[in-house]
Amino acid sequence: MFILPKNVTIIEVGPRDGLQNEKNHVGEEEKLEFIHLLQSAGIKEMELTSFVSPKWVPQMADAKNIVEKAKKIGRQFVLAPNEKGADLAIEAGAENIAVFVGVSNTFNKKNINRTTIESMNSLELVIAKLKSDGIFVRACISTAFYCPYEGKIEIEEVSKLCSRFISMGVDELSVADTIGMANPMESYELFNRLKDLFPDVLLTAHFHDTRKMAIANIFAAMQAGVNRFDTSAGGLGGCPFAPGATGNVATEDVVHMLHSLGIETGIDVEKICEAVGMIAPHVSHPIETGMYKLYKNRSS
Ligand code: HMG
Ligand code: MG
């Protein structure tokens, strides 16, 4: 029989991953309303924004105001690629920080203008300081399956990076299929290996849904014992520096699947759809996730 957890934690990444690559400028007020509706739907862990260069990612230029004004509910993350980002995040009052690195060197250079090793070496000091200040640190690991520039990534390379992050003292690993290319077998193999190697680490899976395999990949990751998933309301998302990275797997569709399997999330699908309905007019493309379409048809 299938291995199914009793509970799954959803980490909502819509306000960050969902909006960072959005063509339309989304205003601060709209972002905050979106965040607050997601919180009302039961989201307890969320990536709010990122402290990155506004020249590189203009959509996240309001990070400071978002952190200062968002209601403090549960564990809220902000992304920081380097010391400057971490300092700005702490100054704004962030209590949980997500650092990020690509397994693939070429992707990492395109994304944060450093090789993977350069990023890891400088993050060592950043993480040590954050941990001594009592900050929860999540490490996001991009291109863990495929890189848009280098192709297939070996499990060994991913596990080496995870191991180094663990030795630096991070609290969580979020391992990502950045361009949505993994299949369920690959999802099972990687997460099974990571669970074997690092049984005590908080392990999260982050799937983009480019080829509509993300839900199947989540199911496969659950077979390997994973019970934390990054998802994005409305299926919004994508990294500006990873060609082919379309939206993340949709929160409403994942939560619906989990509930239909008898797995608890503490999240109200209808209310997630309300949040999607709120943000939909502010993004540049129609939102057509399964559960949101049903919700729209019912409410029209
Ligand atoms: P750089 O040009 O190499 O930076 O960019 P630098 O250190 O040479 O500094 C240049 C200027 O940027 C300086 O300002 C710095 O102060 C400033 P100037 O003197 O020219 O006025 N600067 C910063 N400003 C604000 N915040 C900072 C910061 N750092 C330096 N943190 C940098 C390097 C990392 C800044 C740049 O490459 C960058 O911002 N990249 C953004 C990458 C990004 O946001 N990608 C998307 C998120 S990752 C993702 O989506 C993947 C994930 O979802 C998982 C998955 O799906 O794979 C997590
Ligand atoms: Mg992502």
Q: How far is the CA of 87 from the centre of ligand 1 (A)?
A: 13
pLDDT at 149 over 80: yes
Q: Taking a C-beta distance cutoff of 8 angstroms, is the pair 174, 98 a contact?
A: yes
User: What is the predicted pLDDT for the residue at 239?
Assistant: 86
The region that residue 182 occupies, defined by phi over 0 for left and psi between -120 and 50 for alpha, beta otherwise, is beta
pLDDT digit string, tens, across residues 250-272:
999 999 999 999 999 999 999 99
b (16+ CB within 10 A) / e for 5-36:
eeebbbbbbbbbbbbbbbeeebeeebbbebbb
How far, CA to CA in Å, does 162 sit from each of 128, 185, 253?
Answer: 16, 20, 29
pLDDT digit string, tens, across residues 45-68:
999 999 999 999 999 999 999 999
Q: Single out the catalytic residue among 147, 162, 239, 273.
A: 239
Written as one letter, the residue type at 90 is I
Share above pLDDT 90 across residues of the chain, in percent, rounded to a whole number: 96
pLDDT digit string, tens, across residues 85-132:
999 999 999 999 999 999 999 999 999 999 999 999 999 999 999 999
Pocket test for ligand 1, best of 49, 53, 141 (most atoms within 8 A of CB): 53
User: What is the predicted pLDDT for the residue at 20?
Assistant: 97
117 vs 134: CA distance, rounded Å: 25
User: What is the predicted pLDDT for the residue at 43?
Assistant: 98
pLDDT at 245 over 90: no
Written as one letter, the residue type at 123 is L
Mean pLDDT in residue range 11-29:
97
Check if 147 is active-site.
no
Beta bridge partner(s), residue 142: 102
The encoded tokens of residue 106 equal 């070429």
User: What is the predicted pLDDT for the residue at 259?
Assistant: 98
Q: How far is the CA of 173 from the centre of ligand 1 (A)?
A: 20
Q: Taking a C-beta distance cutoff of 8 angstroms, is the pair 212, 177 a contact?
A: no
* E strand or H helix at 100: strand 96-102
187 vs 207: CA distance, rounded Å: 10
Say what the alpha-carbon torsion angle 197, 200, 205, 206 is, to the nearest 10 degrees: -110
pLDDT digit string, tens, across residues 171-191:
999 999 999 999 999 999 999
In this structure, the residues whose C-beta lies within 6 A of any atom of ligand 1 are 17, 20, 50-53, 56-57, 79, 81-82, 84-85, 88, 100, 111-113, 140, 142, 176, 178, 206, 208, 239, 241
User: What is the predicted pLDDT for the residue at 236?
Assistant: 97
pLDDT at 154 over 90: yes
Mean pLDDT in residue range 271-294:
97
